[in-house]
């Protein structure tokens, strides 16, 4: 993620969806990426094997996303707070209906 942040040719990026992220993904780098690309619809789906401690750090980032009211952000992992996921789903830029049934 740190290397992706250094890329300069992502100006035309409209959406990004990545899956099966391991716990080794640096949450600070993820947060920086989300802040840098405010107009990009971004989804990150994490592995089923992430620890409770990592889930807690993701929850803190999710809370930050919800408080910021930025559109187009979705972070998903097993057993996450369904209410928070629904909030993120409701703020999708497109295909909201498709994701409302995911929870």
Other residues' Cβ atoms within 10 Å of the Cβ of residue 85: 19
Domain presence at residue 53:
yes
Using one digit for the tens of pLDDT, what is the confidence trace for 1-33? Answer: 777 777 777 778 888 898 998 999 999 989 988
Q: Could you tell me if residue 69 is left (phi over 0), alpha (psi between -120 and 50 degrees) or otherwise beta?
A: left
Domain presence at residue 58:
yes
What is the Cα–Cα distance from 70 to 41, expressed in whole angstroms?
10
Q: Say if residues 70 and 95 touch (Cβ distance below 8 Å).
A: no
Name residue 73's beta-bridge partners: 42
Using one digit for the tens of pLDDT, what is the confidence trace for 31-65? Answer: 988 888 888 899 999 999 999 999 999 999 999 99
State which residues form the domain around 78: 13-96
Domain presence at residue 20:
yes
What is the Cα–Cα distance from 43 to 62, expressed in whole angstroms?
12
Domain presence at residue 8:
no
Instruction: Give the global pTM.
Output: 0.82
pLDDT value of position 97 = 42
């Amino acid at each position: 993620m740190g290397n992706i942040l250094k890329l300069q040719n992502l100006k035309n990026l409209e959406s990004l969806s990545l899956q099966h992220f391991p716990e080794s993904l640096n949450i600070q780098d993820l947060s920086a990426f989300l802040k840098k690309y405010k107009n990009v619809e971004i989804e990150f789906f994490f592995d089923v094997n992430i620890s409770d401690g990592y889930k807690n750090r993701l929850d803190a980032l999710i809370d930050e996303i919800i408080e910021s009211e930025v559109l187009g952000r979705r972070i998903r992992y097993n057993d996450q707070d369904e209410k928070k996921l629904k909030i993120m789903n409701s703020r999708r830029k497109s295909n909201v209906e498709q994701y409302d049934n995911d929870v």
